[in-house]
Amino acid sequence: MDAHAHAGEHEIEIPYAIYPRPDTGLYNGKLGIWLFLASEVMLFGALFSSYILLRTGSVDWPRGYTFLNIPLATANTFILIASSVTVVLAWANLRLGNLKLGRIFITITIACALLFLMNKGIEYHHEFVEGRSPSTNNFMALYFTLTGLHGLHVIGGVIVFAYFAGPGAKMWHEDRNRYTNRIEIAGLYWHFVDLVWIFLFPTLYLL
Amino acid sequence: MSDHAIIEVPPHSSADEAEHAGVHDPNLHHSPEEIKREVRVYLIVFVALAALTAVTVGSFYALKSYPVSVAIGVALAIALVKGSLVAGYFMHLLSEKKLIYAVLILTVFFFAVLIWGPWLHHNSPFN
């Protein structure tokens, strides 16, 4: 009997979506997200490496605080930290069996992410109005590349959380543990996005 | 090839079955009291992160007259503490499985190479 014929007879379940594999001690999704985050560290690491290379090799490095909007970036830092907390609160409430509160906290996370993107949009608009673009100098090229890539990650997070707060929440009624695990690994991704911003903020705005 | 070699059957029927198989998933076995205690810790970490953000900005203004190396050292030290709080508590790295630590040790090593590479190049006598 081949695999397709077997699949027709029984519904194939993804292995170890809920319970951990005995050999790794982890459910597969969790190991998967950590391997993905490891690759993300390399992606952002390469850009931070470029920043160090260009800054240490420059005789006159522009200082972000002289023209970037520090109050708005500080507000964005608070917003991302708050969104990290709402994700863990969503996960905790799902583990307590409270889908309603879990979805409310996921929705607050999405609202925080959208607020962050709106503030970033205001900043970008201001830079372009002032005639600063990625081609202005190495600092601005790095500023737009790093914050742009980070912004894309925020958009990615919004899409994932919007799915789980909306149509994806059906999974809760079929298998609540699996849904809870999905929120945990989406949360791990989101905390990484927060972590990157924690280092981007002082690097680009204050130093 | 047998069917068993093609399709793996997961241990999914109950938490007891998983426990019996020698595996333990903390997400499924924490009591409501333990989870509520975790929530209190999350809120304390949130307050600490917010306070450290304020300290980051405050120290930036306070250290403006100092050499830039001092400002860089202070800002990155605070960022490191904040990052450790996020990774340790929100990403629950303080109580993770060995395999994740192994992956992260490898990641940190290559990240360090990426960061120190250009720095060493800059300070190289051959540069």
Q: What are A74-132's pLDDT values in tens digits?
A: 999 999 999 999 999 999 999 999 999 999 999 999 999 999 999 999 999 999 999 99
**Short-list A129, A127, A151, CA closest to A137:** A127
Residues with Cβ < 8 Å from A39, sequence gap 6 or more?
Answer: none
Output the pTM of the full model.
Answer: 0.86
Pairwise CB contact (< 8 Å): B23 & A181: no
Q: What is the CA radius of gyration of chain A?
A: 21
Residues of A in contact with B7 (CB under 8 A): 3, 6-7, 12
**Alpha carbon separation from A171 to A92, A106, A117, A165, B64 (Å, rounded):** 17, 15, 29, 11, 53
Does A96 lie at the interface with B, CB-CB under 8 angstroms? yes
User: Helices A70-95 and A176-200: crossing angle, nearest 10°?
Assistant: 160
Q: What are A125-142's pLDDT values in tens digits?
A: 999 999 999 999 999 999
Torsion angle defined by CA atoms of residues A34, A190, A165 and B26, in that order, rounded to the nearest 10 degrees: 50
Look-up of token digits 């990157």: A196
Does A201 lie at the interface with B, CB-CB under 8 angstroms? yes
Give the distance from residue A133's alpha carbon to the nearest chain B alpha carbon, in angstroms.
25
Burial environment of residue B15 by CB neighbours within 10 A (0 to 12, 13 to 18, 19 or more)? middle
**B7: closest chain A residue by CA:** A3
Residue A1 has pLDDT above 50, yes or no: no
Residues of A in contact with B32 (CB under 8 A): 96
Residue A45 has pLDDT above 50, yes or no: yes
Q: Name the percent of chain A in helix, strand, coil, to the closest 5.
A: 80, 0, 20
Does A13 lie at the interface with B, CB-CB under 8 angstroms? yes
The pLDDT, as a whole number, for residue A161 is 97
Least CB-CB distance to A53: which of B30, B60, B118? B118
Does A78 lie at the interface with B, CB-CB under 8 angstroms? yes
Does A184 lie at the interface with B, CB-CB under 8 angstroms? yes
Give the distance from residue A46's alpha carbon to the nearest chain B alpha carbon, in angstroms.
6
**A31: closest chain B residue by CA:** B100
Give the distance from residue B66's alpha carbon to the nearest chain A alpha carbon, in angstroms.
12
Q: What are B66-113's pLDDT values in tens digits?
A: 888 899 999 999 999 999 999 999 999 998 999 999 999 999 999 999
Pairwise CB contact (< 8 Å): B114 & A45: yes
Give the distance from residue A116's alpha carbon to the nearest chain B alpha carbon, in angstroms.
16
Q: Measured between alpha carbons, how far is B22 from A162 in angstroms, rounded to an integer?
A: 36
Residue B8 has pLDDT above 70, yes or no: no
